[in-house]
Chains A and B, each alone.
Chain A
Amino acid sequence: MITKNADNPTKTTEVEQNTLLEIKNLKKYFPIKHGILQRTVGHIKAVDDISLTVKKGETLGLVGESGCGKSTIGRTIIRLYEPTEGEITFKNQNISHMKERELRQDVRKNIQMIFQDPFASLNPRKTLRMILGEPLKIHYNHSRKKQEEIIGELLEKVGLSSKFLNRYPHEFSGGQRQRIGIARVLTLNPDLVIADEAVSALDVSIQAQITNLMQDLQAELGLTYIFISHDLSVVRHISDRVGIMYLGKLMELGTKADLFQEPLHPYSQALLSAVPTPKKQKTVQRERILLKGDIPSPANPPKGCVFHTRCPHVMDRCKQEVPSLLQVKKDHFVACHLY
């Protein structure tokens, strides 16, 4: 439980009321199968013991290199994957092992996902009308006219015209498609939107348009975002809080300001030092920290702290003991033996 603040009991209940999603010790292991009999010979520990909470209305950024499990955690929260262990509590409901039928009743429409590839995320055989109409048809019983109305409004909201309703996805550009993806997510009026690398496949200028659109929609509709990305500058732009992941573990979690100005974990420091800063901006000129070696395989992660093989401050303790995520300051958590 990382949100509990022992000194201030009134604060605790307030926080809990605001909590939309809570993840406790979440693990997702993918079995590695071998041979004719498909024996399990090992596990890829894509998400390994992560706990965090997401408050209503905030944007939580999740950053990390490719293969660190950030997409897996998103897909596990939305229950495309069944968690191996741990608990996912969404709106005070434990959804970690819910059956598909139960999920469909209430959860599915309240958690939605914006996908990375705008060319793969829309069914090429369906028109815009069908793409946007389907979720409405599943969850609501609107009349045809009402449905058209809702779709038209949504398209306008994301900056497209309802003239395009009979078009197929291949007739749109990447940025337009991502807008369609956002409109589709909004049809169900979700509480939580998981954006999995939602802007990574777009041009930089379009990236800005889409992130701005997402921010405007958040302000207008009170959405909560989990924004998964490898792009630190985009995450910095859109997030309220940021979590940094490495090899399936959460290394550091804090408010944007704390984390970007004063990263505590050696990995966060290295990662943030890689972001180029504009010369005019008067920030503390950080020295570029270069990490040695490659990311170890998630099938066979190092013992103790997973980062110890590359950490410049490695101690004996790091090779034995797994550091737990500790609060070092208000709203700032770090998993490192240095603190």
Chain B
Amino acid sequence: MTKINTVNESSTEALLNPNLNRKPDTMFKIIVSKFFKNKLAVIGLIFLTIIILSAIFAPLLTPYTPEEQSLRDRLLPPSSDHLLGTDKFGRDIFTRILYGGQISLLVGFISILGSVTIGAIVGSIAGYFGGIIDSILMRIVDTLLAVPTLFLLITLVTIFTPGIDKLIYIFILFGWLGTARLVRAEFLSLRTREFVLSARTMGVKNRSIIFSHILPNAMGPIIVSATLGVGGIILTEAALSYLGLGIQPPIPSWGNMLQDAQNYTIMLKAWWYPTFPGLMILITVLSFNFIGDGLRDAFDPKINE
């Protein structure tokens, strides 16, 4: 034994000498520190934090309520009373943006949480077990992907009276497909990796291999796609609301605020009316995208600081 030790003690020690006694970083710490080195991602995170906090604390930030109408104050430009002006019913746009943010973000987060969970489970099973299970699951996914989603959304929303809960169900129903494919692809490549084979030869159970060995290694792409997905859902929700099929007035959402403003005379006379909700959608989606990119790099163990 002594022989072995002498052979490489020197090389081992030398190699890791510089900070042999430092406290080792956890994976989480490494990821966080890598994330914070990405400037755009940090900017995105700051914006998103502000948006989320102001949506949560909306009642404290504004003296108005979102449904409060005042026909005398219609289409007022931004001023100290109405920070971002008023709409055609004299409602405060700043207030409606804050409350609309609650709805838009809530729909986005819950839909993504649901669809990523389903997608990850289906994708893991299809990718890990392969064969007939994979074929069946993936044909279901292919079939659902071939459905023209927007038209189906519109049809479904027309059949069931539109509402926040129904919107979320529909987003989940069609949202998990992409994640399932992504996770399956990750699993296909990871399951033949030697560390997975090694776990199998150690006698690790399938469930544990899927959830404790492979999934953590596929987490990067999943989180990235989830982050980007929230942005996508906010956009779809805005599009549906714009068509009048999303969140129904008087409940504000960024989408239906844009719809309110679509009359061209309003657009010309009151630029602030469509601009601010549109800007909010833009900033929010952009923030999600930047954060998604930052997370992707941070999760990649091959990219070092």
Contact = CB atoms under 8 A, between A and B. Distances in A.
Interface in B1-46: 1, 3-5, 7-9, 11-13, 15-16, 20-21, 24, 27
Contacts of B194: 115-117, 120-121
Given A124-B301, A159-B5, A159-B7, A173 B198 contact: no
B20 A163 contact: yes
Nearest to B301: A124
Interface in B196-239: 197-206, 213, 216-217
A166 B24 contact: yes
Interface residues of B, number: 34
Contacts of A175: 8, 11
B203 A108 contact: yes
B271 interface: no
Interface string A91-104: 00000000010011
A121 B24 CA distance: 22
Interface in A259-285: none
A115 B202 contact: no
Contact of B213 (A113, A123, A160, A164): A123
A159 B4 CA distance: 6
Contacts of B200: 80
A123 B24 contact: no
Contacts of A139: 203
A191 B273 CA distance: 77
B195 A123 contact: yes
Contacts of B27: 125, 168
A201 B20 CA distance: 26
Given A78-B201, A116-B194, A122-B195, A161 B1 contact: no
Interface of A: 38, 75, 78, 80, 100, 103-104, 108-109, 111-113, 115-117, 120-125, 127, 134-135, 138-139, 156-161, 163-164, 166-168, 170-171, 173, 175-176, 181, 184, 188, 209, 212-213, 216, 220
Interface of B: 1, 3-5, 7-9, 11-13, 15-16, 20-21, 24, 27, 135, 193-195, 197-206, 213, 216-217, 301
20 contacts: A75-B197, A109-B203, A112-B202, A113-B198, A116-B194, A117-B194, A120-B195, A121-B198, A122-B195, A123-B199, A125-B217, A135-B202, A138-B204, A139-B203, A159-B5, A161-B13, A166-B24, A173-B15, A216-B4, A220-B1
